[in-house]
Amino acid sequence: GSSNMHPSVATSSAAVGGIVAEWEIMGIFGDLAAHLEIPRGVDAESLSKEVVEGIFDRVMHRTGASDNLTESEAAAYKSRFVDAVLQDTNSSAIEAAKTAITAEKPLMPEKMAKAINEQGLGYTVKPVATTVAAAKVLLGLRVPRDLKLEQPARTRAVFPETFDAREAWPRCAGVIGRVYNQGHCGSCWAFSALQALDSALCIADPRFNESDSSLSRGFTASCVYDRDGCQGGYPPDAWEYVQDTGSIPSTACVPYFAEGAGSEHFQKNGHSPECPSTCATGSGLSWSSSLYRPLNAGLGGAEYSSFRYMKKLLFERGPVSMGMPASFLSSYKSGVWSAGCGTQPNHAVTAIGYSGDDYVVVMNSWGAEWGDKGTFKGDPCVISVFWKMGKIDMDAKGYVFASA
C-alpha cells in the first residue's frame, strides 16, 4: 500500500492476538489532550475565539493530526472544538479544551479509513463523520467494578466446526435474527439481554415464534433501573428483573420509544420515558394479556470470557449476550473485526454463531443498514465478557405467557 503517504499509520500486525491495532493510537486517534497547551495568563474568563483557535491549531500541528484530515473535516472539527470550549463555563480552560479535543473528533476520517483499509487487517472500515462523543451514545455497557470472570469446568463436549443459531433452530430463525435499532440511546444492554432472552424463550416455548414475538426493549430500558436506561446498563439486570420483580410486556404493547410513532419526545430530550403500566394508545392491547415472565432465565448467571465455553453455550442453549470494546465499531464495513481488542468493553451485543476459531457471528442493535444486514463477524479477541443466562422453565410457578 502507499503507506509513505501516511507516516502516522504504521503497518499493524499488532491487531492480531488481542492487542490494540497501531492505527488506534496514531495521529488523530492518539491522545491529543496530552499535547494541549493553554497560553500563559489565559483563564476561562479571558478565552476568545482567536485564542481557542490557536490552541487547536497548535495541537493539530504538534501531533501531526492535521495531516490525517481533509480540509472540510479539519474545519468542522475546529469549529466544534471552539464552540464547545467557549460554551463550557463550568470548567477551567484546560479542562474544557481536554474534553472538547476528544469529544469533538470525527470518529473515522476519510484519509484514515483509506489508510487502514490498505493495511490488510482482515477487516475494512468506512469513513464516519460522527463525533466521538455522538458515537459513544450508541454504546452503553456498564460493567460492575468488581466483575470476576468464572473459569468454566473443563469439558470434552464436541460441537460443530461452524454454527448458526438461526439454522439450528429454524422455527426461531425470525426471533433470533430479528434486527433492532437502539437509536440515540445507550440501551445496548437491554437489546443484548432481550435478543438472548427472546431467543431462549422461543427455543423453550413453541408459542413464541410469531413474526411479532418480541419482548419490549422500551419497557426494559425504562423500568429495570429507577433511572434513565439510556445512560447504560448491564444485561443480566434485565433477566434478574424478570426473576425478582415482574413481567415484561410485548413490543406490540410497548413499542420502542426512540423510533417510529411517538419518538419525537425522545429525540428532544434523549432520556427513556417513565416506566409504563399500560399498552400504547392505539395498540388495541390490554396490559394483562400482553405480559411475559420467562422464569429462571434470571437464575444461575455468571460471567465468562472463554471462546470455547461460549461455543458450547451457543450450541446447547442458543444466542449469548456479550460485552465488547466498540469505540470504533460504527466504522465497520466488512471482514472480521478486531479493533479495540484488549481495551475496556463498552458495548453489549449478542453472539448468534461462530466459524471455527476464526470468528463469532454477532448481532448488533444499530439497525439493518449497519454492517452486514445488522450483524458483523468478530475476532474471538473482541469477547471481553459474556453472560450465562439461567434455563427457562415453562413449569416454574409464576411463569407467564401473554395471551394477546
CATH code, 314: 3.90.70.10
Domain boundary among 107, 123, 139: 123
Considering the domain architecture, whether residues 267 and 205 belong to the same structural domain is answered as: yes
Candidates 170, 162, 185, 177; CA nearest to 315 is 162
Q: Are 341 and 19 in contact (CB under 8 A)?
A: yes
Q: How many distinct structural domains can be found in the chain? A: 2
Considering the domain architecture, whether residues 178 and 318 belong to the same structural domain is answered as: yes
Q: Are 169 and 323 in contact (CB under 8 A)?
A: no
In a domain, 144, yes or no: no
Please give the C-alpha separations between residue 121 and each of 2, 29, 296, 316, in angstroms, as whole numbers.
Answer: 15, 17, 42, 32
Considering the domain architecture, whether residues 184 and 270 belong to the same structural domain is answered as: yes
In a domain, 255, yes or no: yes
Tell me the average pLDDT across 148-175.
92
Give the pTM. Answer: 0.92
Cα–Cα distance, 200 to 255 (Å, whole number): 21
Considering the domain architecture, whether residues 173 and 115 belong to the same structural domain is answered as: no
In a domain, 373, yes or no: yes
What DSSP state is assigned to residue 137? T
Considering the domain architecture, whether residues 195 and 83 belong to the same structural domain is answered as: no
pLDDT of residue 45: 76
CA atoms within 13 A on the CB side of 258: 27
pLDDT of residue 1: 37
- 364 in active site: yes
In a domain, 131, yes or no: no
Query: Among 29-43, 132-146, 199-213, 355-369, which range has the highest average pLDDT?
Result: 355-369
Tell me the average pLDDT across 395-401.
97
Which structural domain range is residue 171 located in?
162-388
Considering the domain architecture, whether residues 49 and 182 belong to the same structural domain is answered as: no
- 188 in active site: yes
Considering the domain architecture, whether residues 302 and 191 belong to the same structural domain is answered as: yes
Considering the domain architecture, whether residues 63 and 175 belong to the same structural domain is answered as: no
Backbone phi, psi, residue 138, to 5°: -80, -5
Considering the domain architecture, whether residues 219 and 345 belong to the same structural domain is answered as: yes
pLDDT tens-digit map of 216-265: 999 999 999 999 999 999 999 999 999 999 999 999 999 999 876 667 67
In a domain, 138, yes or no: no
Choosing from 202, 341, 364, 381, the catalytic residue is: 364
Domain boundary among 96, 123, 150: 123
pLDDT over 70 (residue 8)? no
In a domain, 130, yes or no: no
Higher per-residue pLDDT: 145 or 291: 291
pLDDT of residue 195: 99
Q: What is the overall mean pLDDT for the chain?
A: 91
pLDDT of residue 211: 79
Query: Among 42-56, 153-167, 346-360, which range has the highest average pLDDT?
Result: 346-360
pLDDT of residue 118: 94
Considering the domain architecture, whether residues 356 and 222 belong to the same structural domain is answered as: yes
In a domain, 96, yes or no: yes
In a domain, 295, yes or no: yes
pLDDT over 60 (residue 7)? no
Cα–Cα distance, 290 to 361 (Å, whole number): 32
Cα–Cα distance, 238 to 387 (Å, whole number): 12
Please give the C-alpha separations between residue 108 and each of 127, 194, 350, in angstroms, as whole numbers.
Answer: 5, 30, 24
pLDDT of residue 17: 39
Considering the domain architecture, whether residues 288 and 213 belong to the same structural domain is answered as: yes
pLDDT over 90 (residue 89)? no
Considering the domain architecture, whether residues 349 and 219 belong to the same structural domain is answered as: yes
pLDDT of residue 260: 66
pLDDT over 80 (residue 11)? no
Candidates 348, 352, 307, 304; CA nearest to 329 is 348
Domain boundary among 73, 104, 123: 123
Tell me the average pLDDT across 305-321.
96
pLDDT of residue 19: 57
Choosing from 185, 188, 223, 381, the catalytic residue is: 188
In b/e form, how buried is each residue of 262-277, taking b as 16+ CB within 10 angstroms? Answer: beeebeeeebbbebbe
